[in-house]
Amino acid sequence: MEFNEIINPGNLVYKKTNLLTDKVLSYCPGCGHGTANRLVMEVIDEMKIQSETIGVASVGCSVLAYEFMDIDMVGAPHGRAPALATGIKRVYPDKFVFTYQGDGDLAAIGTSETIHACNRGENITIIFINNGIYGMTGGQMAPTSLEGMKTSTSPYGRDIESMGHPLKITELVSQLDGVYYVSRQAVHTPSAARKAKKAIRIAFENQKLKKGLSLVEIVSSCNSNWKLSPVKANEWMEENMFPFYPLGDIKVDGVAVKKVL
Amino acid sequence: MARVRGAIVIDVERCKGCGVCVANCPSHVIGLEHAVNSKGYHFSHVENPEECTGCTNCATVCPDAVITVYRKKFD
């Protein structure tokens, strides 16, 4: 009785945004990519800029993002999304241009493109999903993998001496003068997802100011390759990823707000 | 006393049964079904409909955007 009263369009408080297509997401169950895709689309929906937004999808698990996001999208060669976005933004300076990249794309093969696009201060937004592993190709060690993290190419854990240190690329680019806004967020809990959405909104709003690049890192889980259940992977992420990748704003309005570790 | 009641509708065919909504529901409304959908996932279902307040936490964390939330105030 009461349920029929509650479930009617007048009482609707939350539904899937129309900017996500009806296609079933290709991500694994519990993957942060799905939430991140949805938050980006919700921001674009709320800003009413669907027809003025051009997205650049990268290579990795997010390669099929153009199937799910109902906006104009381009697929970039591996790691080259910021370079492609630079070209698009220079041809259409009034459009909102963003890239959606994972850590294998942005922090490994695309390090050079990322750093130079940031340093040039292109007026684009970069959404960076960091799960510390190469998800799509089978869980190999990424530059962002934590010390001691077991992956398929570091089965005994990442050894700093032979494999080097994990790369904190977000802190790295926050020191460049061309970067206007840098924030690190997560999407594993409701409060984290709401904060992440605010950060993404700021990153898109900043494009109107034409003062530089905005980057939002989303620390995410890769439960399939971490070999954990989705809920356990989120707990593992809180315990192990967050101490090394602390959440919060790193640079706001061109001024560093957090001392870089 | 006025009470806020909520209700959620889950698109079971799109649900992948990750259980993130179950872990994040403050009122323990959602559980995983023993049955499976056509993809073979133990989809989420509403276990305690009376407790739902329509807080939207489950929908906010759902990676596959399968949850629709309704909320109504009863006097």
* Domain at B57, CATH number: 3.30.70.20
Angle at A33 between CA A235 and CA A21, to 5 degrees: 140
Residues 33-52 of chain A with CB under 8 A from chain B are: 33-35, 38
Verify whether the Cβ–Cβ distance B67 to A35 is below 8 Å: no
Domain range holding B58? 3-74
Fold for A25-154+161-256, please state it: Rossmann fold (3.40.50)
Residues 29-58 of chain B with CB under 8 A from chain A are: 41, 49, 54, 56-57
The predicted structure's pLDDT at residue A83: 96
CA distance A62 to chain B (A): 14
Residue of A4, A8, A13 to mutate, interface with B, max B Cβ within 10 Å: A13
Q: For residue A147, report the phi and psi dihedrals to the nearest 5 degrees.
A: -65, 130
Number of domains composing chain B: 1
Determine the Cα–Cα distance for residues A196 and A63; give it in Å rounded to an integer.
21
CB B67 within 8 A of CB B21: yes
CB B10 within 8 A of CB B58: no
Angle at A201 between CA A199 and CA A205, to 5 degrees: 120
The predicted structure's pLDDT at residue B9: 94
| B22 contact residues in A (CB cutoff 8 A) | 231
Verify whether the Cβ–Cβ distance B6 to A6 is below 8 Å: yes
Which residue from A6, A32, A231 is facing B72, i.e. has the nearest CB? A6
Inter-chain Cβ pairs, chain A and chain B, closer than 8 A = 94
The predicted structure's pLDDT at residue A259: 62
Residue B10 three-state SS:
strand
Write the DSSP symbol of residue B16: -
Residue B68: how many other CB atoms lie within 10 Å? 18
Tokens 């509650």 sit on residue:
A6
pLDDT per residue as tens, chain A (261 positions): 567 788 888 899 999 999 999 999 999 999 999 999 999 999 999 999 999 999 999 999 989 899 999 999 999 999 999 999 999 999 999 999 999 999 999 999 999 999 999 999 999 999 999 999 999 999 999 999 999 999 999 999 999 999 999 999 999 999 999 999 999 999 999 999 999 999 999 999 999 999 999 999 999 999 999 999 999 999 999 999 999 999 999 999 989 886 655
Residue A94 CA neighbour count, 13 Å, CB half: 1
The predicted structure's pLDDT at residue B46: 94
Sequence ranges of the domains in chain A: 25-154+161-256
Residue A10: how many other CB atoms lie within 10 Å? 7
Determine the Cα–Cα distance for residues A174 and A181; give it in Å rounded to an integer.
8
Q: Does B67 touch chain A (CB under 8 A)?
A: yes
3-state secondary structure chain A: CHHHHHCCHHHEEECCCCCECCCCCCCCCCCHHHHHHHHHHHHHHHHCCHHHEEEEECCCHHHHHHHHECCEEEECCCCCHHHHHHHHHHHCCCCEEEEEEEHHHHHHHCHHHHHHHHHHCCCCEEEEEECCEECCCCCEECCCCCCCCCECCECCCCCHHHHCCCCCHHHHHHCCCCEEEEEEEECCCHHHHHHHHHHHHHHHHHHHHCCCEEEEEEECCCHHHHCCCHHHHHHHHHHHHHHHCCCEEEEECCEECCCCC
Determine the Cα–Cα distance for residues B64 and A37; give it in Å rounded to an integer.
9
Q: pLDDT tens across B16-67, in order?
A: 999 999 999 999 999 999 999 999 999 999 999 999 999 999 999 999 999 9
Write the DSSP symbol of residue B26: T
Q: Which of A250, A130, A240 is nearest to A186 (CA)?
A: A130
Determine the Cα–Cα distance for residues B6 and B53; give it in Å rounded to an integer.
4
CB A170 within 8 A of CB A249: no
Which residue from A3, A17, A231 is facing B19, i.e. has the nearest CB? A231
Contacts of residue A155, defined as CB under 8 A and 6 or more positions apart, other chains included, come to none
| A33 contact residues in B (CB cutoff 8 A) | 63
